Amino acid sequence: MKKVWNQLSLLSRYYIISMIGFFICWSIFSILKVEFLNTLFFIMSYIWHFTLLTPGLKDKMLTSRQRFSFINVVVRINYYLQLFIKLKKISFGPSIVRAISPMLFSLLLILVGGSGNLLFTLLGSICFEATHYFLTNKKSISVPPGDSEIPPATPIVRNSHE
């Protein structure tokens, strides 16, 4: 089994580890019979964090020109939040900064839709960060490091319109 694990790419390992954590949390919600809308807010927040920590996605979104992609918006919002909010004294500072954007999006959904629960959005953020932390801190599992506090530099792209 370890031989097969070592042959997997870094991205495949990340997907497997993250989805194991997701199915564990989702099965707990299914056993507890949590309301469907609350489960959706939980899933949205969990997948939001999953997207932000996907290896190589941040560099690709910040350097390529995908203007109308929602993933690009998510990555850029997190990029700017990391630039302006520095939480170096707290050990889980980057996790807290990553949790701000799904909370704002959920608040917008609640204001527009009229129903929802921010608690489940926060719970989704906490569950992803906790499962990611516990599953990647084992020495036998190697995944890419978490979201660094210093975002990559965005290259300047010059367009020539003639």
Nearest to 129 by CA among 1, 18, 11, 33: 18
Q: How far apart are CA 98 and CA 120, in angstroms?
A: 15
Residue type, 70: F
Average pLDDT over residues 10-36: 86
At 102 the three-state DSSP class reads: helix
Report the mean per-residue pLDDT for the chain. 77
| Torsion sign across C-alpha atoms 106, 133, 131, 55 | positive
- 19 with 97: CB under 8 angstroms? no
Summarised one tens digit per residue, pLDDT across range 98-112 is 888 888 888 888 888
Quickly state the pLDDT bin for 117 (edges 50, 70, 90): confident
Q: Around Cβ 79, how many Cβ atoms within 10 Å?
A: 17
The larger pLDDT score, comparing residue 144 to residue 27, is at: 27
- 143 with 136: CB under 8 angstroms? yes
> pLDDT value at position 9?
80
Termini Cα distance of the chain: 58
> pLDDT value at position 94?
76
- 103 with 80: CB under 8 angstroms? no
> pLDDT value at position 139?
43
Distances (CA, A) of 23 to 12, 43, 151: 16, 10, 30
Q: How far apart are CA 75 and CA 156, in angstroms?
A: 17
Note the pTM of the prediction, 2 decimals.
0.75
Q: How far apart are CA 11 and CA 126, in angstroms?
A: 22
Summarised one tens digit per residue, pLDDT across range 63-88 is 777 666 787 888 888 888 888 877 76
Q: How far apart are CA 57 and CA 71, in angstroms?
A: 9
Give the least confident one: 12-21, 27-36, 59-68, 119-128. Answer: 59-68
Show me where the domains of the chain are located.
2-136
